[in-house]
């Protein structure tokens, strides 16, 4: 499982011209599932995401997590994140979890993270989404579980 996280001052996701998810200060999470990912990896990723220190403390050091600042979390499914790009000029998707199974894990991820954090928003699994964000920093990390 991979999560590309970006510290944002605001972000939103639209489907068919309608805003389906948005946050103010927080993290935008692009989430991709690999073939062998299961619920234990999801639980581990949620804990890591909410505790990962990407926000500045009083001394300007990245010592605060999204949970510490009670920031927003916008989750967007992105299967291209787990593509095999090691060779050639076209991505391979044999490493990605099949869509039906990935959607079930995505739904589990959303329901579980909502129990752990109060400000959660999301895109729509499998939809053609337009994501807008203001990356604060920029600060971007690739997390793997």
Residues annotated as catalytic are: 78-80
Cα–Cα distance, 45 to 32 (Å, whole number): 11
d(Cα 92, Cα 86) in Å, to the nearest integer? Answer: 9
Which DSSP letter does residue 98 get?
P
Dihedral sign, Cα of residue 76, residue 111, residue 124, residue 130: negative
| C-alpha 100, offset from chain centre | 19
């Amino acid at each position: 499982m991979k999560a590309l996280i970006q510290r944002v001052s605001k972000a939103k996701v639209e489907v068919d011209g309608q805003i389906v998810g948005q946050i103010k200060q927080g993290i935008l999470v692009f989430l991709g599932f690999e073939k062998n990912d299961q619920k234990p990896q999801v639980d581990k990723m949620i804990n890591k995401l909410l505790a990962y220190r990407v926000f500045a403390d009083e001394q300007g050091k990245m010592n605060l997590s999204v949970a510490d600042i009670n920031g927003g979390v916008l989750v967007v499914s992105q299967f291209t994140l787990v593509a095999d790009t090691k060779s050639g000029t076209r991505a391979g998707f044999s490493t990605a979890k099949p869509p039906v199974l990935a959607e079930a894990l995505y739904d589990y991820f959303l329901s579980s993270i909502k129990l752990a954090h109060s400000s959660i928003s999301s895109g729509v699994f499998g939809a053609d989404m337009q994501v807008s964000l203001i990356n604060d920093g920029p600060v971007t990390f690739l997390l793997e579980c």
